């Protein structure tokens, strides 16, 4: 069975872009593949952060993933820092990666550009990500397009290591979703919906109240035309509404465009569809959040299941690179 692994940073509130663009695929993947999902709290230490908020968000993201439909009986859901194998393998891989290739990563350049101080972990971030993936012998790694270069690095590191020290790691493939909606910011529809670049009015958070969801969608930017067509390049705002309506109802946005001639009804239907798609998720979230101990228990079980795969790979890697087994 194909092994799948993906990770999410607990660095901000989750929104519809995370849900329709990624997590919904995780939920369907879990039934088809041997799936591992990891809340990557160590990666969240690479930029300025608030310790109390990090702890809270780590549990919160795990709670949302369960609410969305990850089933701990079916997949393995765990917190990265609960498995020390990640940091240990990361060091071994840091001694395989080169300074030059890490410095050239576009995400490193974007995030370090103009900063007075840059945490060393920001540079080695993609190596830790490679460790996350290689530890579990993952065949497929579902990630957004922005992670393509990091995935390529993970593949290069695995190949370089295998050549240098002998066959140790599975070389993973990126799985960039082609289906699933790419959700854009409601106020700036040429930009991906994102908590870091978006405005509050442009981003629908998973825990927004129905009235807030309705208000944000009703105020979404469209254009000055007077009809409704699905044309993401020329009419990004209208296309985004149709994509959201399609993602919420399972219909094709191109087809949906034929049902509308005015923005008012399109927005009203989109808001109603998003609200009703989110209602059961929000309901499950509230139930789980009321009992954080149950979520922590699931994460503990996930970490202990993850250990089986992680410990075996780490031992292989330690031996391959020449570390003495402890007696
Ligand atoms: N870097 C990824 C992101 O920001 C998160 C991540 C960390 C990840 N480790 C991973 C994704 C391993 C996939 C596999 O989206």
DSSP 8-state symbol, 185: P
Q: What is the pLDDT of residues 217-249, one digit of tens each?
A: 999 999 999 899 999 999 999 999 999 999 999
125 CA: nearest ligand 1 atom: 1
pLDDT of residue 208: 97
Structure-block tokens of residue 293: 């101990």
**Which atom of ligand 1 is nearest the CA belonging to 128?**
9
Residue 295 tokens read as: 């979520």
* Pocket perturbation via mutation, ligand 1, pick of 132, 138, 172 by most ligand atoms within 8 A of CB: 132
Output the CA 144–ligand 1 centroid distance in Å. 9
Active site annotation includes 195: yes
Q: Is the pLDDT of residue 312 over 70?
A: yes
Ligand 1 pocket (Cβ < 6 Å) reads 5-7, 9, 40, 43, 129, 132-133, 141, 143, 147, 150
Pair 78, 303: CB distance under 8 Å: yes
Q: Whose CA is nearest to atom 11 of ligand 1?
A: 7
The answer on pLDDT for 181 being more than 80 is no
For residue range 264-294, what is the model confidence (pLDDT) as tens digits? 999 999 999 999 999 999 999 999 999 999 9
Say whether 218 is catalytic: no
What percent of the chain clears pLDDT 70, i.e. is strictly above it? 99
Q: What is the pLDDT at residue 176? A: 86
Q: What is the predicted pLDDT for the residue at 302?
A: 98
| Euclidean distance between CA atoms 170 and 19, whole angstroms | 28
Higher pLDDT, 164 or 12: 164
Confidence of residue 199 (pLDDT cuts 50, 70, 90): confident
Q: Which listed residue (109, 192, 216, 218) is catalytic?
A: 192
Residue 177's pLDDT is: 75
pLDDT for 111-163, tens place per residue? Answer: 999 999 999 999 999 999 999 999 999 999 999 888 999 999 999 999 999 99
Biggest CA-to-CA distance, the chain: 76
Question: Does the structure show a pLDDT above 80 at 313?
Answer: yes
| Structure tokens, 114 | 């103009």
Averaged pLDDT, 58-79: 98
CA-129 nearest atom, ligand 1 = 9
Higher per-residue confidence, 211 vs 197: 211
Alpha carbon distance 33, 143 (integer Å): 16
CB hemisphere CA count around 272 (13 angstroms): 6
Alpha helices for 95-209 (secondary structure H)? 99-103, 106-112, 120-134, 148-165
Determine whether 250 is exposed, middle or buried from the number of CB atoms within 10 Å of its CB (0-12, 13-18, 19+).
exposed
Distance 283 CA to ligand 1 centre (A): 27
CA 157 / ligand 1 centre spacing (Å): 16
**For residue 23, how far is its CA from the centre of ligand 1 (angstroms)?**
13
* Residue 179 pLDDT level (bands cut at 50, 70, 90): low
Nearest CA to ligand 1 atom 15: 8
Averaged pLDDT score across all residues of the chain: 96
Q: Residue 180 has what pLDDT?
A: 62
Asked whether the beta carbons of 249 and 276 are under 8 A apart, the reply is no
State in Å: Cα 134 to ligand 1 middle: 12
pLDDT at 11 over 90: no
pLDDT of residue 121: 98
Q: Is 140 left (phi over 0), alpha (psi -120 to 50) or beta?
A: beta
Per-residue pLDDT at 304 exceeds 80: yes
Q: Which of 56, 109, 195, 297 is catalytic?
A: 195
Sorting pLDDT into bands at 50, 70 and 90, what band is 197? confident
Per-residue pLDDT tens for 81-96? 999 999 999 999 999 9
User: Residue 6: what pLDDT?
Assistant: 98
Instruction: Tell me phi and psi for residue 72, to 5 degrees.
Output: -65, -10
């Amino acid at each position: 069975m194909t092994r799948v692994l993906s990770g999410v940073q607990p660095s901000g509130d989750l929104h519809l872009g995370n849900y329709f663009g990624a997590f919904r695929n995780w939920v369907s993947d879990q039934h088809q593949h041997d799936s591992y999902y990891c809340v990557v709290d160590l990666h969240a230490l690479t930029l300025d952060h608030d310790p109390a908020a990090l702890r809270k968000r780590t549990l919160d993201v795990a709670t949302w993933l369960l609410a969305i439909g990850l089933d701990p009986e079916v997949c393995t859901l765990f917190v990265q820092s609960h498995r020390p194998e990640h940091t240990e393998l990361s060091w071994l891989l840091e001694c395989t990666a080169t300074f030059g290739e890490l410095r050239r990563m576009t995400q490193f350049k974007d995030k370090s550009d103009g900063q007075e101080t840059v945490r060393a972990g920001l540079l080695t971030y993609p190596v830790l990500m490679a460790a996350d993936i290689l530890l579990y012998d993952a065949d497929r790694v579902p990630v957004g397009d922005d992670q393509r270069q990091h995935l390529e690095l993970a593949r290069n590191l695995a190949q370089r290591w295998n050549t240098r020290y002998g066959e140790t790691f599975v070389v993973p493939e990126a799985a960039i979703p082609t289906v699933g909606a790419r959700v854009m910011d409601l106020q700036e529809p040429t930009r991906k919906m994102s908590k870091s670049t978006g405005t509050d009015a442009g981003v629908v958070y998973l825990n927004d109240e129905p009235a807030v969801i309705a208000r944000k969608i009703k105020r979404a930017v469209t254009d000055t035309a007077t009809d409704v067509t699905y044309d993401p390049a020329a009419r990004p705002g209208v296309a985004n509404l149709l994509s959201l309506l399609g993602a919420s109802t399972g219909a094709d946005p191109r087809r949906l465009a034929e049902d509308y001639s005015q923005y008012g009804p399109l927005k009203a239907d989109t808001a109603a569809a998003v609200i009703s798609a989110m209602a059961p998720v929000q309901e499950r979230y509230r139930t789980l959040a009321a009992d954080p101990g149950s979520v922590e228990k699931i994460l503990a079980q996930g970490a202990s299941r993850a250990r089986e795969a992680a410990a075996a790979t780490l031992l292989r890697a330690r031996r391959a690179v020449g570390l003495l087994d402890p007696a």
